[in-house]
Amino acid sequence: MTSTTTAGTASSAGTEDVEAFRLRVRAFLAASLPRKDERSGPVSMAEAKQLQAVLFDGGFAGIAFPARYGGAGLTLEHQTVFGQEAAGYRMPTPLAVSVAMLAPTLLDHGSEELKSTHLPRILRGDEIWLQLLSEPSGGSDMAGVLTRAVRSGEQWVVNGAKIWTTGANHADYGMCLARTDPDVPKHAGLSMFAVPLAHDGVRIEPIVASDGGTPHFFQEFLDDVELPAGNLIGELNNGWVVARALLYHERNATAGVGHGRGYRAEADAGAATGTGIDDLIDLARAAGTTGDPVARQLLAEAHVAAVVARQVGDRVMTGIRTGAFRGDWGSLLKLGMGIDAPRRGEIGLAVGGTGAVVWDDGADDGAHDDVDRHSVKWLTARTISIAGGTNEMQRNIVSERLLGMPREASDDRTVPFRELLSRRTAGS
Ligand X SMILES: Cc1cc2nc3c(=O)[nH]c(=O)nc-3n(C[C@H](O)[C@H](O)[C@H](O)COP(=O)(O)OP(=O)(O)OC[C@H]3O[C@@H](n4cnc5c(N)ncnc54)[C@H](O)[C@@H]3O)c2cc1C
Residue 341 beta carbon to ligand X: minimum distance, rounded to whole angstroms = 12
Q: Which is nearer to other proteins, 199 or 343 (CB)?
A: 343
Residue 395 beta carbon to ligand X: minimum distance, rounded to whole angstroms = 8
Binding flag, residue 386, ligand X (CB under 6 A): yes
- Interacting residues with ligand X between 192 and 221 (CB under 6 A): 217
Q: Which is nearer to other proteins, 158 or 255 (CB)?
A: 255
Nearest alpha carbon to residue 92 among 58, 131, 123: 123
Report the residue from 7, 10, 54, 284 that binds other proteins according to the rule CB under 8 A: 284
Binding flag, residue 408, other proteins (CB under 8 A): yes
Binding flag, residue 318, other proteins (CB under 8 A): yes
Report the residue from 287, 312, 367, 415 that binds other proteins according to the rule CB under 8 A: 312
Kindly write down the DSSP assignment for every residue of 165-216, as one continuous string. EETTTT-SEEEEEEES-TTSBGGGGEEEEEEETTSTTEEEEEE--TT-SS--
405 binds, among other proteins, ligand X, none (CB under 5 to 8 A by kind): other proteins
The β-bridge partners of 202 are 222
Residue 346 beta carbon to other proteins: minimum distance, rounded to whole angstroms = 16
Distance CA(265)–CA(42), nearest Å, equals 11
Binding mask 396-425 for ligand X (x = CB under 6 A): x-----------------------------
Binding flag, residue 101, ligand X (CB under 6 A): no
Nearest alpha carbon to residue 163 among 149, 174, 151, 172: 174
Nearest alpha carbon to residue 192 among 95, 105, 99: 105
Among 138-146, 191-199, 266-274, 362-370, the segment contacting ligand X (CB under 6 A): 138-146
Binding flag, residue 316, other proteins (CB under 8 A): yes
Report the residue from 11, 32, 147, 165 that binds ligand X according to the rule CB under 6 A: 165
352 binds, among other proteins, ligand X, none (CB under 5 to 8 A by kind): none
Query: What is the crossing angle of helices 329-352 and 293-322, to 10°?
Result: 170
Distance CA(375)–CA(397), nearest Å, equals 32
Tell me the residue length of the chain. Answer: 428
Report the residue from 390, 412, 415, 419 that binds ligand X according to the rule CB under 6 A: 390
Nearest alpha carbon to residue 147 among 95, 197, 191, 102: 191
Residue 87 beta carbon to other proteins: minimum distance, rounded to whole angstroms = 14
Binding flag, residue 301, other proteins (CB under 8 A): yes
139 binds, among other proteins, ligand X, none (CB under 5 to 8 A by kind): ligand X
Between the CA of residue 36 and those of 156, 242, 284, what are the distances in Å?
45, 35, 22
Cα 424 from chain centre: 31
Query: What is the crossing angle of helices 45-58 and 112-124, to 10°?
Result: 110
Residue 231 beta carbon to ligand X: minimum distance, rounded to whole angstroms = 18
Binding flag, residue 183, ligand X (CB under 6 A): no
Distance CA(311)–CA(257), nearest Å, equals 12
Binding flag, residue 100, ligand X (CB under 6 A): no
Distance CA(350)–CA(331), nearest Å, equals 29
Residue 384 beta carbon to ligand X: minimum distance, rounded to whole angstroms = 8
Distance CA(327)–CA(105), nearest Å, equals 16
Cβ atoms of 63 and 74 closer than 8 Å? yes
Q: How many CA atoms lie within 13 A of 222 on its CB side?
A: 30
Binding flag, residue 248, ligand X (CB under 6 A): no
Among 64-72, 173-181, 187-195, 321-329, the segment contacting other proteins (CB under 8 A): 321-329
Distance CA(63)–CA(7), nearest Å, equals 8
Neighbour count for residue 333 (Cβ, 10 Å): 24
Residues that bind other proteins (CB under 8 A): 275, 277, 281, 284, 290, 293, 296-297, 299-301, 303-304, 307-309, 311-312, 314-316, 318-319, 322, 324-325, 332, 335-336, 339, 392, 394-396, 398-400, 402-403, 405-406, 408-409
Residues that bind ligand X (CB under 6 A): 130-131, 133-134, 138-140, 164-166, 217, 383, 386-390, 392-393, 396
